[in-house]
Chains A and B, each alone.
Chain A
Amino acid sequence: MAQLEIHNLTRSFDGVLAVDDVSFDVRDGETVSVIGPNGAGKTTLFNLVTGVDAPTQGRIDFDGRSLLKLAPQEYAGVGIARTFQHGRVFGNLSVMDNVLIGAYARSQAPSRGPLVELVRALVQGKAVREEERALRREAEEILALFGERLLPRREQQAFGLSYANRRRVEMARALMARPRLLLLDEPTAGMNPTETREILEFIRGLRQRGMTILLIEHKLSLVMELSDRVVVMDNGRKISEGAPHVVRNDPKVIEAYLGTKTHERERTARSAPAERGSGGDGI
């Protein structure tokens, strides 16, 4: 059974269709990537799936349940964790605290009443301390997934970390929720090739351990290496879907993705006629 099902999703802003009748699904254990040129509607789609924005039309189901009725803070509870496009960590919190917040949704806190929580925080009995210790151990295990990047810095405040490390903290926080679906919004944006490589290996590791991932990414090489399936968007519409090598050779994708480049080339070609040569499909 498909885990995440997106049906005929549409979002219009004052008549402009940012997402136009998009349908696809993400099955258990799959890594699906959404790609497309700038302005294709990827971020709007991501905002819809994460509940930050509401669609004009269409459905989003997770395990057969509609996500549209959920408040943003209820997504973590049903097993969906996310990272943000520009990396959002809690700057003045330590790395450890950042990761511990990730466990919030699966702790007992949401189901307990606020007053119970207040009393537990004041009294801090044995059960509370046990729970905290167990969570800390688990957080350390997750931090260890990033090798020596974060573990030695676990008591440092997050604002002092490098950009790449902050994005790692964000991923650790998402993993701490033990999600059944992980939504990654351009996880390697702004990273250098080495760091990108490292993140790629990391995501590959998650995938091997059976994590279901929806990935939005600009870097095509990363998408081609990681994805089981690729969804290509352009002008708000889904123009292609399939295995990476299929999508890569789809003429519609080539046109959407590289069409602008072709036009540019034609323009330069016109100004410098000697270089006239390659046609529409010359990539």
Chain B
Amino acid sequence: MDPTLRTFIDQTINGLAIGNVYALTAVGLALIFGVANLINFAHGSVYMIGAYVGWVCVTWLGWPLPASFAAVAVVCGALGVALERFGLQGLHRKARIAPLLATIGISFALDQATQLLFTANPQSFPNPLPAERIALGGVSIGAIDVLIAVVGVSTAGILFGFLRFTQLGWALRATAQDRDAAQQMGVDVEGVNRATFGIAGVLGGLAGALVGLYFATVYPTMSFQAGIKGFAANLLGGLGNVPGSIVGGVVLGLVESYGVAAFGATYRNLFAFAILIGVLVVRPAGLFSRRRTLPPEPMTGTFVPNSRPVRVPRAVVIGGIAVALCFPVLVSDPYLLQILTNAWLLAMVALSLTLVTGTAGQSSLGQAGFMAIGAYASALLSLRAGLPFEIALIAGSLIAAVLGTLLVLPAFRLRAHYVAIATLGIGEMVNQVIANWDGLTNGVLGLTNIPPPSLFGIEMVTPRATYWYSLALLLLAALLQLRLLRSHLGRTWRAIREDDVAAQSAGVGLNRYKALAFAVSAGMAGMAGAFSGHMYSYINHETFASSTSILALTMAILGGMGNMVGAVVGAVLLTALPEVFRGLVDYRYLVYGVVLLLLVRFRPQGLLGTV
């Protein structure tokens, strides 16, 4: 047989195997989207836990594979049910974004809990299957490929039978069609919801265990990639479309397999993001929808529940600023100053997010991407072009503003949740590009020896100096933002947030104001990123991960969306809390996840209320 043809067939088999797993993940997401109308961010975590359960059963307990898979199904099914029962039940009556935020919180908590139990290190998952490969006319198929195919096809068959022929399957489909009508007809929609999460959990867990076996490792951070890929596959097939998701998964697997063969393994994760963003922009209804549907009613108040903000007296704000300014004079503990410096920088990111998401209503989960652009631009300008820090910082911020806006531009026609997903994808894509653009960014090795922050040629390296420098930048950013919010521009942004259709009928062109909001926001986040880069002196493609975006979102929600004082308070609280209770430092993300969950349930308007 011709060797190129043989390689091609091998790649196809790889792609089909991985695609099968993506399909399993995507089907779970599709079921949940169909029934609960929710993008489940915790699905990747369930998948990751499935992989760990499989690993524990096989390597620790020495169970045979069938028993291990049964255990994975039971544990992850139960986890899915528990997730719905304790994390989400009752939330669908609140703001539409609430359940989505809750799943983000749950996924933080689950990932961190797994990391605490089994460490962050990858664990090797030796494959207990026979090693010999079945030869088929010059091509060989491994036992794992066969196993994946068998599990994939049989679960698809069982699922089809379940949805078609069982009473619960009927109830599930009816609920997906029309929740209220199903309830009227006596369907226990809460029960259906729970069952759906259970089934999705089983599918996700099995997918995770199969991937663990396939790549022979399991690690806590596999959850994020899995969630994104499952979502990309689901989106490709049409959100909530179960057969479409299977096709979407297989297509994604094949694209990845051929793509890796063509460009190299480091590109693997780029394809999912490219597909994700491409589909969102070109065919948001998926490949199989006959036509584009009319735009849905706006989800007004998606992020912003109606509330009266707490009025913080001016004296308190000024007093707080004064205390912050005097703090280094009174306290010299460098550790504490460093933590607060981090808090000021994160507060800048939270401010930038509260502007675009709180004020202008465009849910952004891509702030980390803007930070990365700012950081790399500023670092490269001072490393390669020898620009002084101040100039590099401003240039980095401007580059982040322009580039960030251009990147988000295609997503302007999306609404609500889709904006969140698209910006999350964009943020990740920025990091993937940084990791692969060796010529400019030095690839995965990152940039070293970035000059420290300086002012008029004087280096600011002591903890006190960086503290004041970052605080000054934060205050400057806050003043600019305050000015904008109090102008006609702020009014127009808030009108778009409240009801974009009504704003349009008053003559407001949406794209221009979305672009302005993203530009200011990306510029501010880019400045925070740039300062951080110079402060750390080292950055790479993982310095500004998506968890930072979600952290900034949690801070902004904690303080109250659109509320500037709230964003700063949220940033200080979330940065300082784990430090104050020293024991919590290791559990940091667990704390963030739990805070987000509690907020969504008990105080969705945040501590100080939305503006």
Contact residues of A with B, CB < 8 Å? Answer: 50, 52-53, 71-77, 81-82, 84, 88-93, 97-98, 100-102, 104-107, 109-110, 114, 117-118, 120-122, 124, 128, 132, 157, 159-160, 170, 173, 177
**Partner pick for A114 among B494, B499, B516, CB 8 A cutoff:** B516
Residue of A nearest to B496 (CB): A90
A92-B306, A92-B610 as given contacts; A76 in contact with B507, CB under 8 Å: yes
| Selected A-B contacts with CB under 8 Å, 9 pairs | A50-B505, A73-B505, A82-B505, A91-B301, A104-B506, A118-B489, A120-B487, A160-B306, A170-B502
Give Cα distance in the complex from A52 to B502, angstroms: 11
Given contacts A73-B507, A122-B480, 16 further A-B contacts (CB under 8 A): A72-B501, A73-B505, A90-B495, A90-B503, A92-B494, A101-B508, A104-B507, A114-B515, A117-B516, A118-B516, A121-B484, A121-B487, A124-B487, A159-B306, A173-B506, A177-B506
- Which residue, A76, A107, A114, A128, has most C-beta atoms of chain B within 10 A? A114
Write out the residue numbers on chain B whose beta carbons fall within 8 Å of the beta carbon of A170: 502
Residues of A within 8 A of B494 (CB): 90, 92-93, 97
What is the minimal beta-carbon distance from B38 to any residue of chain A, in angstroms? 23
Q: Chain A residue with minimal CB distance to B298?
A: A88
Quick check: A84 and B507 within 8 Å, CB to CB?
Answer: no
Q: Which of B489-524 contact A (CB under 8 A)?
A: 489-492, 494-495, 497-499, 501-510, 512, 515-516, 520
In this complex, what residue of B is CB-closest to A50? B505
Confirm or deny: B413 has a beta carbon within 8 angstroms of a beta carbon on chain A. no
Q: Do B498 and A93 touch (CB < 8 A)?
A: yes
Interface of A, helix, strand, loop or mixed by DSSP: helix
Are B506's CB and A101's CB within 8 A?
Answer: yes
Q: A91-B306, A124-B483, A177-B506 are in contact. Are A101 and B294 (CB under 8 A)?
A: no
Residues of B within 8 A of A101 (CB): 491-492, 495, 503, 506, 508
Q: Which residue of A lies closest to B505 (CB)?
A: A82
Q: Are A157 and B306 CB-contacts (below 8 A) given A75-B505, A117-B516?
A: yes
| C-alpha spacing A151/B497, complex, angstroms | 25
Closest to B499 in A: A88
Residues on B with beta carbons closer than 8 Å to the beta carbon of A74: 507
Chain A residue numbers with a CB within 8 Å of B490 are 121
A113 and B219 CA atoms in complex are apart in Å by: 50
Q: Is the Cβ of A157 less than 8 Å from the Cβ of B308?
A: yes
Q: In the complex, what distance in Å separates the CA atom of A117 from the CA atom of B491?
A: 13
Contacting pair A76 B505 (CB below 8 A): yes
Contact B306 A90 (CB under 8 A): no
- Residue among B498, B505, B515, B610 with most chain A CB within 10 A: B505
Minimum C-beta distance from B310 to chain A (A):
14
B300 interfacial contact with A, CB 8 Å: yes
Q: Which residue of B lies closest to A124 (CB)?
A: B487
Residues of B within 8 A of A118 (CB): 484, 489, 516, 520
**In the complex, residue of chain A having the shortest beta-carbon distance to the beta carbon of B487:** A121
What is the minimal beta-carbon distance from A111 to any residue of chain B, in angstroms?
11
Knowing A92-B498, A97-B494 touch, does A109 contact B488 (C-beta < 8 A)?
A: yes
The answer to whether B304 has its CB under 8 Å from any CB of chain A is yes
Measuring CB to CB, which residues of chain B are less than 8 angstroms from any residue of chain A?
Answer: 294, 300-301, 304, 306-308, 480, 483-484, 487-492, 494-495, 497-499, 501-510, 512, 515-516, 520, 610-611
Task: Determine if B510 and A73 form an interchain contact, defined as CB atoms under 8 angstroms apart.
Answer: yes
Closest CB-CB distance, A267 to chain B, in whole Å?
26
Residues from chain B with a CB closer than 8 A to the CB of A106 are 507
A121 touches B505 (CB 8 A): no
Q: Is the CB of A122 within 8 A of B504?
A: no
Q: Report how far A124 CA is from B294 CA in the complex, Å.
A: 40
Residue of B nearest to A76 (CB): B507
Q: Which of the listed residues B300, B507, B508, B510 has the most CB atoms from chain A within 10 Å of its own CB?
A: B507
Closest residue of chain A to B291 (Cβ to Cβ) is A14
Quick check: A73 and B508 within 8 Å, CB to CB? yes
- Asked whether, in the complex, the Cβ of B507 is within 8 Å of the Cβ of A121, the reply is no
Shortest Cβ distance from A68 into chain B, in angstroms? Answer: 16
Judge whether B489 and A117 touch: CB under 8 Å: yes
A107 vs B492: C-alpha distance in the bound complex, in angstroms? 12
Chain A nearest CB from B306 CB (Å) reads 4
Please indicate the chain B residues that have their CB under 8 angstroms from the CB of A81 in the complex: 505-506
Q: Are B483 and A73 in contact (CB under 8 A)?
A: no
Partner of B498, one of A91, A124, A160: A91
Residues of A within 8 A of B491 (CB): 93, 97, 100-101
Give the distance to chain A from B235, nearest Cβ to Cβ, in Å.
25
CA distance A267 to B505 in the complex (A): 45
Within 8 Å by CB of A121, from B307, B488, B502, lies B488
CA gap between A81 and B502 in the complex, in Å? 10
Which residues of B have CB within 8 Å of A109? 488, 492
Decide: A104 and B498 in contact? CB cutoff 8 A: no
In the bound complex, residues from chain A placing their C-beta under 8 Å from that of B301 are: 91-92
Option from A71, A91, A114, A122 in Cβ contact (under 8 Å) with B484: A122
How many Å from the CB of A95 to the closest CB on chain B? 13
Most buried by B among A89, A92, A97, A117: A92
Closest approach, in angstroms, between the C-beta of B477 and any C-beta of chain A?
12
Within the complex, the shortest CB–CB distance from A18 to chain B, in Å, comes to 12
With the chains together, A179 CA to B604 CA distance in Å?
39
Give the residues in chain B near A91, CB-CB below 8 Å: 300-301, 306, 498-499
Asked if A73 and B492 make an inter-chain contact with CB atoms under 8 angstroms apart, the answer reads no
Max chain A CB contacts within 10 Å: which of B300, B491, B508, B510? B491
Q: What are the nearest 8 A-B pairs in CB distance?
A: A105-B507, A76-B507, A90-B498, A121-B487, A121-B489, A159-B306, A88-B502, A73-B504
Residues of A within 8 A of B498 (CB): 89-93
Report the nearest B residue to A100, measured CB to CB: B491
Q: If A121-B490, A122-B484 touch, does A88 touch B501 (CB 8 Å cutoff)?
A: yes
In the bound complex, residues from chain B placing their C-beta under 8 Å from that of A117 are: 489, 516
Whole-angstrom distance between the Cβ of B52 and the nearest chain A Cβ? 44
Q: Give, as a whole number of angstroms, the nearest-CB distance from B240 to chain A.
A: 21
The distance in angstroms between the C-alpha atoms of A200 and B401, with both chains bound, is 50
In angstroms, Cα B503 to Cα A82, docked, is: 11
Distance of B527 from chain A, by nearest CB (Å) = 16
One of A132, A173, A177 near B488 (C-beta < 8 A)? A132
| Nearest CB of B to A17, in Å | 17
Q: Which residue of B lies closest to A115 (CB)?
A: B516
Q: By the criterion CB–CB under 8 Å, are A90 and B507 in contact?
A: no
A77 & B507 in contact (Cβ 8 Å cutoff): yes
CA distance A101 to B502 in the complex (A): 10
